[in-house]
Amino acid sequence: MERVTVALDERSYDILIDNGLLDRAAEFLAPLARDGRLLVVSDETVWAALGSRLVAGLGDIEAVPILVAPGEESKSWTGLRAVVDTLIDRGIERKDHIIAFGGGVIGDLAGFAAAVVNRGCNFVQVPTSLLAQVDSSVGGKTGINVTAGKNLVGAFHQPSLVLIDPSLLDTLNPRQVRAGYAEIVKYSLIEDAELFGWLERDGLEVLNGDPTSRIHAIAAAVTGKARIVERDERETSGRRALLNLGHTFGHALEAETGYSDRLLHGEAVALGCLLAFDFSAAKALCPIEDADRVRGQFVRAGLPTRLAEVGLERLGERLVGHMQRDKKRDGGRTAFILTRGIGQAHVDRQVELAEVADFLDRAA
């Protein structure tokens, strides 16, 4: 078993990673139960696929499921209200631990419910998608989407434990696995060139479900995220902004495709990371060879690498328009994560959007 600690003073917690952890859930979760039961927030798809394994793994502890429909629509005021009302109906107390059992939608929704119900109770992340295992379950960002945009309402609320069982990915759709893989590549590009080299050799093993490779890749990714979150928990100093590599471009692509199945978040991140590398290379900040290696990595993983592949070429003005509406803006400027090469990302707040629009118009 791998253990990664997120060191945040009294909010510190462990991330445990091993195949079969769900089947031993009682070992970790029974001490957190009250009156022999745990309230588990999940979505209907995850519960149908994996609920029985959790129930069996909890042994004598009763799992009380609180289910929402699968999909981003549940990460909403309506979804939050339903979850919070049910938690209160079921007698949630402040010292209780809610279990968030699902992908990023469930982690964000259940985490935010935990942040606000009774002015804050505890929660444990048991992420079931690769994206949630390497990204959303760690770091304490929780929230919902509102009419004006995604993730605009939320709270920083750290979990008290994260249990990652890579074997849960066996029931996840392969396209979703590839999308989560893009976030692993992202961490390597930020500041872990060694991980990038490892992914070039062994990355396909992760996608093919090799148990040992999955643990290695997930542990490396969450370690990368933990170290950044420790330095800047609430995104105040700018360090945490590095995690947005590929996301300024990526969110614009997602906004343009209406956050639909046409382009999954991780697919947008793959394209976004490449655009950040190509843009950096065009500005002579980064060797073109590094951008080519990144492209090779995503091509091998079966992720999109060209705007034209997803029908988003020559849309510079529109994409920059989405960036201007992004909540991550600071003092009216958009922060870009640029790079001097693989493992050497940095924040640049001086990029002119006109230059970006022009670059996007020329990107194929």
Ligand X SMILES: NC(=O)c1ccc[n+]([C@@H]2O[C@H](COP(=O)([O-])OP(=O)(O)OC[C@H]3O[C@@H](n4cnc5c(N)ncnc54)[C@H](O)[C@@H]3O)[C@@H](O)[C@H]2O)c1
d(CA 286, CA 108): 35
| Cβ atoms 22, 50 nearer than 8 A | yes
Site string for ligand X, 264-303 (x = CB under 6 A): -x--------------------------------------
Is the Cβ of residue 75 or residue 97 nearer to ligand X in the bound state?
A: 75
Angle between helices 265-282 and 174-191 (to 10 degrees): 30
Whole-number minimum distance, CB 139 to ligand X, in Å?
Answer: 5
| Cβ atoms 342, 196 nearer than 8 A | yes
235 part of the interface to ligand X, by CB under 6 A = no
Given phi > 0 = left and psi -120 to 50 = alpha, else beta, which region is 343? left
96 part of the interface to ligand X, by CB under 6 A = no
125 part of the interface to ligand X, by CB under 6 A = no
| Cβ atoms 295, 200 nearer than 8 A | no
- Piece of the chain touching ligand X by CB under 6 A; list 20-28, 130-138, 341-349, 350-358: 130-138
Start-to-end CA distance of the chain, whole Å, equals 43
Order of strands, edge to edge, in the sheet holding 122-127?
2-6, 13-17, 161-164, 122-127, 97-102, 37-43, 62-68
> Does residue 289 have an active-site annotation?
no
| Cβ atoms 364, 271 nearer than 8 A | no
The owner of tokens 């290696």 is 293
Pairing of strands 141-146, 149-156: antiparallel
| Annotated catalytic residue within 225, 233, 256, 267 | 225
122 part of the interface to ligand X, by CB under 6 A = no
Whole-number minimum distance, CB 348 to ligand X, in Å?
Answer: 22
> Does residue 265 have an active-site annotation?
yes
Whole-number minimum distance, CB 283 to ligand X, in Å?
Answer: 27
| Residue among 168, 222, 241, 269 that touches ligand X (CB under 6 A) | 168
Whole-number minimum distance, CB 143 to ligand X, in Å?
Answer: 7
Whole-number minimum distance, CB 272 to ligand X, in Å?
Answer: 13
Nearest of 299, 162, 269, 166 to residue 226 by alpha carbon: 162
**174-203: contacts with ligand X (CB under 6 A):** 176
Is the Cβ of residue 141 or residue 178 nearer to ligand X in the bound state?
A: 141
> Does residue 235 have an active-site annotation?
yes
Q: Which residue is nearest to ligand X (CB)?
A: 104
106 part of the interface to ligand X, by CB under 6 A = yes
18 part of the interface to ligand X, by CB under 6 A = no
**24-43: contacts with ligand X (CB under 6 A):** 43
HSE at residue 273, side-chain half, CA atoms within 13 A, is 37
103 part of the interface to ligand X, by CB under 6 A = yes
Whole-number minimum distance, CB 281 to ligand X, in Å?
Answer: 26
| Cβ atoms 348, 338 nearer than 8 A | yes
CB neighbour class for 35 (10 Å; exposed up to 12, middle 13-18, buried from 19): exposed
| Residue among 172, 182, 273, 337 that touches ligand X (CB under 6 A) | 172
92 part of the interface to ligand X, by CB under 6 A = no
128 part of the interface to ligand X, by CB under 6 A = yes
Neighbours of 259 (CB within 10 A): 17
| Cβ atoms 60, 26 nearer than 8 A | yes
> Does residue 119 have an active-site annotation?
yes
| Residue among 57, 102, 166, 343 that touches ligand X (CB under 6 A) | 102
118 part of the interface to ligand X, by CB under 6 A = no
Whole-number minimum distance, CB 299 to ligand X, in Å?
Answer: 22
In DSSP notation, 62-82 reads EEEEEEE-SSGGGSSHHHHHH
> Which of the residues are catalytic?
119, 141, 183, 225, 235, 240, 244, 247, 251, 265
* Binding interface with ligand X (CB under 6 A): 43, 45-46, 49-50, 70-72, 75, 102-106, 108, 128-129, 131-132, 135-136, 139, 141, 150-151, 168-169, 171-172, 176, 265
